Amino acid sequence: MTTPNDNDRNERLLARLIGLAGPRPQPPQSMRDAVRSATEQAWQRHLQRVRRRRLGLLALAATLTAVAVGVGIAVDVQREPPPWVAQVDRSVGRLELAHGEEWRPLEKSGRIAAGARLRTAAESGAGLLMSNGSSLRVSAETLLRLVTPLEISLEQGLIYIDSGPETPGDVVVRAGRATVREKGTQFAVHAASAGLGVSVREGSVSVAVADTTFEAGAGERLELMPSGAVRRGAISANDPQWQWALALAPSFDTDGRSLTEFLNWVSRETGRAVTFVTPAIQRAANGTMLHGSITGLDPDDALSAVMATTDFEYELVGTQIVIRSRGDRHRR
């Protein structure tokens, strides 16, 4: 056991050693400027590659569009319907709104009226908060019309929808002659014959094309080809193909929220289930209130940043986020 005298001697020795070494050599400013310039250029090139990868699920053709649908947790829904149907929450690159024949840039927090047409440029994307509380994420080179908060006309490209059980009505996406409807207790099927791709992350959808209806549940992918052929496949909740939508996730306000609420948000955005090692840890997480902001962080970064401020640590094990008390991992 160290005594106060030991601590004093340690402190003096530390001071001697570090004082002996003197200040660490610093690089010349000219070198710093040159290396920074080259490194920043390399970083910009890296970002371009990342954007192409992340926003890279583009429309295959005008007749083949892809719609990804998930059922999620609703955010607060206003009692009085606002005059706008959506608001820009996040954007990457260029997002434009049609004004007659003209296209004009739409900035973050910009509001969108019913019936408006939107488009994204190459290597761009947008996350929109719909007035009914659902989240609409728009990939690159996508063209759509927001008819109402519950009806989207997708002309070309890729969108991701996260609606909640409290959203009144079912979300409908019309793409060519296909209608994709979030399946609820009441729904109608419309005729459609255009090619389509639909991936379901949670919940289920019905896809009506001509006089045929196809059902797809969570973890399923449907491809309806122009020839009429139908292909089914599997896609897990944390498949990398969802990654682009993660980047456009709506912000989660952590201030005053519990750690459990935050983890639930991370879980539905990343597709990974949260597991607490013991019920006691889960109770403790329920009672841990967060403060501050994670604005600008995506769910993966936010998880790392938030957990570092708590008495818990996490481990990614397969498709799970395992939560335990800090230090417990080494005592296993």
Maximum pairwise Cα distance, the chain: 87
300 touches other proteins (CB under 8 A): yes
308 touches other proteins (CB under 8 A): yes
332 touches other proteins (CB under 8 A): no
First to last CA, the chain: 26
Residue 111 sits at the vertex; the CA angle it makes with 109 and 116, to the nearest 5 degrees, is: 140
Nearest CA to 221 out of 171, 212, 209, 207 is that of 207
1 touches other proteins (CB under 8 A): no
Task: Write each residue from 208 to 247 as x if it is in contact with other proteins (CB under 8 A), else as -, in one continuous string.
Answer: ---------------------------------------x
**Least distance to other proteins, CB of residue 122, Å:** 16
d(CA 158, CA 142) in angstroms, rounded, equals 6
d(CA 311, CA 324) in angstroms, rounded, equals 9
d(CA 252, CA 19) in angstroms, rounded, equals 46
40 touches other proteins (CB under 8 A): yes
**Least distance to other proteins, CB of residue 15, Å:** 5
Q: Judged by CB under 8 A, which stretch of 58-66, 96-104, 281-289, 310-318 contacts other proteins?
A: 310-318
- E runs forming strands in 201-311: 204-209, 212-217, 220-224, 230-234, 273-276
50 touches other proteins (CB under 8 A): yes
280 touches other proteins (CB under 8 A): no
89: phi then psi, degrees, rounded to nearest 5: -100, -40
**Least distance to other proteins, CB of residue 82, Å:** 30
d(CA 284, CA 300) in angstroms, rounded, equals 22
Residue from 1, 21, 229, 234 touching other proteins (CB under 8 A): that is 21
Counting residues that bind other proteins (by CB under 8 A) gives: 49
Residue from 1, 4, 17, 101 touching other proteins (CB under 8 A): that is 17
Which residue blocks in 22-152 are alpha helix, DSSP H? 29-54
> In the complex, which residues of this chain contact other proteins (CB under 8 A)?
2, 6, 9-11, 13-28, 31-32, 34-36, 38-40, 42-43, 46-47, 50, 92, 247, 296-298, 300-301, 304-305, 308, 313-316, 329
